[in-house]
Copies of this chain bind each other. A is one copy, B any other.
């Protein structure tokens, strides 16, 4: 417990634990300064770096921004977002796979973070818990705690490294005994930090179970689907087919989708995304739109207009869309190449990983992650230690540096 000087009592403890990613990054940079970039593996960066270890982007997007009209860059967007952006966000999310007989609306948010913030605040009472897998983007906890909510975890993988539906079910039942509102976070496809995507079979089982739970009409169940990495999980149609499974939901089972332009357009620093609501009930969607618009106004006012206009133009202009998709596919292949090298070596040397399929990160379970990552620094490998594992950010490691990493991790465990 930190004593407050000027802040309110609930705020005093914030930030008393130093940021882990930042600490790793600092050490990696110090090593680079000391022995040179070529000898250091910085496995902690969460953005795509090219084979020269430089920040990378879509040149089509750069050209677009460098020619953007002044009003589109600089004027306010409406509070909820440009109306065309909202329909474009829905288009980009579903790409033709919106389930039949459903209603969808969108609200512009600063990246996925802002979307998650709104769901935790507006779909949970203060003090309630959101359910997340035990392998999760640490910021879910920060967002929950910033807003006087907290998180509960289920065990994401069973002993056979399969998605652990029994654990999910157990925790859902437990939480629904204690609270009437429930938010369950799924980060799929291309889960951060494991690279896992739920299969259609798993989704079916999850959705059927949640439909059962929603038989109790006092319960309000929200599936919060974080699709930050969806565009690196495969072709648009393949990665979006599972949305069709969310049909015929009861009114009290609601799907909230956190869509982010950060990775999909590599404009992380422009802070643009959307919260898309999907329901079988038009009323629920009207409520969603009304409530979250006011939350926009009362937290950050409105969103980055330039990024919103980009999404509108991508949606309207097939040529622009195709150019970006081509560039994106190139990076997807690049990350896949890196991942294949790592995963094959891991298999060879008997290093267990979680079932990576796609995305920016591979995660290795570790009994003592902090000791292991410390050991790895002797080999000049800088990776983030999680509570029970080590995260290897293949998005930022050039292909030529991948061979040997799995072996060294195996040795460090």
| A-to-B contact residues, CB < 8 Å | 4-12, 14-16, 19, 22, 46-47, 55, 57, 61-62, 65-68, 70-79, 110-111, 113-114, 117, 121-126, 128, 139, 142-143, 145-148, 181, 220, 222, 251-252, 254, 262, 266-271, 279, 281, 283-284, 287-288, 290-291, 293-295, 297-306
The residue in chain B whose Cβ has the minimal distance to the Cβ of A112 is B301
Contact B66 A67 (CB under 8 A): yes
Contact B62 A73 (CB under 8 A): yes
Q: What is the bound-complex CA distance between A271 and B295, given in angstroms?
A: 16
The residue in chain B whose Cβ has the minimal distance to the Cβ of A17 is B294
A347 → B minimal CB distance (Å): 33
| Residues of the B chain whose Cβ atoms lie less than 8 Å from the Cβ of A6 | 123, 220, 222, 251-252, 254, 279, 284, 287-288
Could you list 26 examples of A-B contacts with CB < 8 Å?
A: A4-B287, A6-B252, A7-B122, A8-B122, A14-B290, A14-B295, A16-B290, A19-B79, A57-B71, A65-B68, A65-B73, A66-B68, A73-B267, A75-B268, A111-B300, A117-B299, A121-B146, A126-B148, A143-B298, A143-B299, A269-B305, A269-B306, A270-B306, A271-B271, A271-B303, A304-B304
Contact A121 B222 (CB under 8 A): no
Q: What is the bound-complex CA distance between A46 and B303, given in angstroms?
A: 16
Contact A294 B5 (CB under 8 A): no
Q: What is the bound-complex CA distance between A293 and B19, given in angstroms?
A: 10
Q: What is the bound-complex CA distance between A148 and B148, given in angstroms?
A: 11
Contact A117 B269 (CB under 8 A): no
Contact B9 A297 (CB under 8 A): no
| Residues of the B chain whose Cβ atoms lie less than 8 Å from the Cβ of A126 | 10, 126, 148
Q: What is the bound-complex CA distance between A110 and B302, given in angstroms?
A: 9
| Residues of the B chain whose Cβ atoms lie less than 8 Å from the Cβ of A290 | 14-16
| Residues of the B chain whose Cβ atoms lie less than 8 Å from the Cβ of A78 | 22
Nearest 4 Cβ contacts at the A-B interface = A146-B298, A269-B305, A15-B290, A14-B294
A114 → B minimal CB distance (Å): 5
| Residues of the B chain whose Cβ atoms lie less than 8 Å from the Cβ of A284 | 5-6
Contact A147 B5 (CB under 8 A): no
| Residues of the B chain whose Cβ atoms lie less than 8 Å from the Cβ of A220 | 4, 6-7
| Residues of the B chain whose Cβ atoms lie less than 8 Å from the Cβ of A305 | 269-270
Contact B55 A300 (CB under 8 A): no
